[in-house]
Chain A
Amino acid sequence: MLKNYFKLAIKVLGRRKFFTFVSLFGISFTLMILMLITAFLQTELGSDAPMTEKDNLVYLPAISIKRAVKDTVVERDTSYQEGIMIVDSTVTYPERINSHSRSNPSYYFVNKYGRDVVPAKNYSIYNNSSYDFFLNSKKLTFRALLTDERFWEIYDFSFVEGQAYRKTQVDNGEAIVVLTQKACRQYFGQESGVIGKEVVFEGQTYTVSGVIKDPKSFHVYVNAEAYIPYTNLPPAVLGGTGLMDGFEVVYQAHTPADIPKIKKELEHRANLFEEFRDDYATYNRLEMMSYTFRERYADNLYDEDDDPAQNLKTVQWLLIFLLSLFVILPVLNLVNLNISRIMERSSEIGVRKAFGAHSSNILFQFVFENVILTFIGGLIGFILAIGMIKLINESHVLYETTLGFNFKIFFYSFLICLFFGVLSGLLPAYKMSKVHIVNALKQNQR
């Protein structure tokens, strides 16, 4: 019986080429887009190395200083009591932000206020920089992160050769560098065997101490071509007393549940801050802007709100909305197509029932057709998605980001398509299977 329905479905789909084409296109395209988006999110926001600790991280990339002034507001209420005017006045002092400045903290600031945040298990201080240099008379730019040794404890980069710099090397300000494979290829024309060789950035020579694998994902505050001990920075940077410069801190919590504690502690430290002097003498409020990994990612896309958690929510909802749109629109189209197609087949339904088909036979037939259609669409979508991911990875349109195919997500997306495929066939088929035979035969006489 099932074999029959299968053959019938294939025959009908083959005969209705336009319907089949449109449906297959809708299903496979929806699946492909869904797969691409989720693959992208997975690599960007997933916990692949070096981001295994991702969910335990809190970033302090910025501080914000403000001048708050108190306004005096007097409100008068007039009322009449026994013909005499009575004036009631209320005085309030609302706060108003008069001036506002936001930037990365300086070494001075993070060194004095950012260390030893108790709820955190570990932390790393680093500076985001870049070096221009000439190689074979071609100008190249390497992005560099100038970090402490703890950086390598928080992110688990995998080393192709050599190793990360240790505490003593950082403390001694040794001129050493860790390069990515890609940077090695660019600089030396080879991806390994470079330990002990020297690179020259802006007149200063560094000895290569390690080479790391190119990470799949890309985040400016994690990825760079070159990693150098921060103690190589000029004394003016490390010895200054300004509040703002190019530093940031990443804190590693024991568990995600400790993250709010870290944020609270930073907030507490900001409230106690009193060092408003020199350029900042007129300011009187300081805020330490801390973000979780996801919040920071979302903040890059959308930062309308002051609260990073709120921005993350907005971005998440927007994403869910867009994704559902991607699914819902083709599905609605499919439902619509299915309804008109099944209505067209009213005479067929009448004939089948007259010759002994029961309503359940009819229902099953139509649902089965849709299931077959969805399976074929799923297969095409699968091939399309794999092809597109390969194409994107090879063409490097997303720079260093390398997409992977997520079978679990594909399975779920497929289930969604199947669900709507069945539903879109079921509803009209159910309606039609209940139609009185005589009426079904009267419609669309051919």
Chain B
Amino acid sequence: MEHLYEILKHVDGFIYPNEIELQWGILIILYPYITGLVAGAFILASLERVFKIKVLRPTYHLALLTALAFLIVAGLPLVSHLGHPFRSYEILTTPQLGSAMAIFGFVYLWYLMVVLLLEIWFDYRYDLVIWSNESKGIKRRIYKILTLGVTDISPKALAWDKKLGYIITVIGIPSAFLLHGYVGFIFGSIKANPWWSTVLMPVIFLLSAMVSGIALVMFLYMVVSWIRKVKIDMACLDEIGKFLFMVLILDFTLESLDQVHRIYEAEESFEILHMLVTGKLTYTLFIFQGLMGTIIPLLTLGFFRMYLPKEKLRKPIYFLVSCLVLFGVFFMRWNVVIGGQLFSKSFLGFTSFKLGMVGLEGFWMALVWMIMPFLILSFILWLLPPWKKHSEETV
């Protein structure tokens, strides 16, 4: 409790006495951040499949597997931040349906089991059967289990794989929207908090999720290509850049609209939010999220729409842009989660927040959560390498 006494000294103005401690810290920032990456990556994958954007083909499987790796981790920071993690099953057994958070368990399971796993399974089933015959030892076992015993690879069965996979993708798009729109709703539905309570919140979350997910796939595609020492498909990268640009514009417009609306309506909470934005959130909002995460990528990608520089130049720029966007969206989540708790609901003062280094809610732990999906992804890529798929030509 030492840190609370420390914070007590840094309280500005008046806050309700229970508001000194921020209830939601870095872990709750990671939760919407990671789910956002999932939703975004998945939507990028579906673009290829459902909207038949063929140039995106090289990233299709990567995007899917990325979504899976991040989804596996997505719920963990949330659960580990609970006061009683072992009671978390209650969300599934007795969900209180009036609560946005209660649906989380089901949305999560739906998305994991029905959408992602099934889509990947349909997509890889043919290869799993082949690989289970080709490889030896433990790997062979794993592949065998993963086929779930469905080893029929007649053209008829393969046609079904394709068909069912397609249906799942079509279901998957609204599911991805649901998954993240709903995360926005968790915040947007809190009428007590004027910084959160806006109908646009789910939409903003969704768009920023798409932005971050697309940037993540862009980033990973380049990294994976470098590691594998294969040539990056520039047409594909440009296409991703194009989509990133489009969604960024939408995201930027809506977020600005939200702020303009706030400023123009200037409700009861306006003064305190103004102080928040120009005070405690200056760096994270204007510099990190606004300038670095949005404006610079927007201008760069916009410039690329008019003039495409040489490949040698474009690659590092794309790389940089994807990093900036990922960084910016992280701080978007930061500004929502932390910003919403810094000011008092009495609108008369601020508490303060300092990210600790150690402990369950500390920086290092957050870093672990952030690295974990990448490790899982490397494992999945090792197990199910998209570049070794046999079915490539048949699909």
A and B, one complex?
Answer: no
Question: Which residues from chain B sit less than 8 Å from chain A, CB to CB?
Answer: none
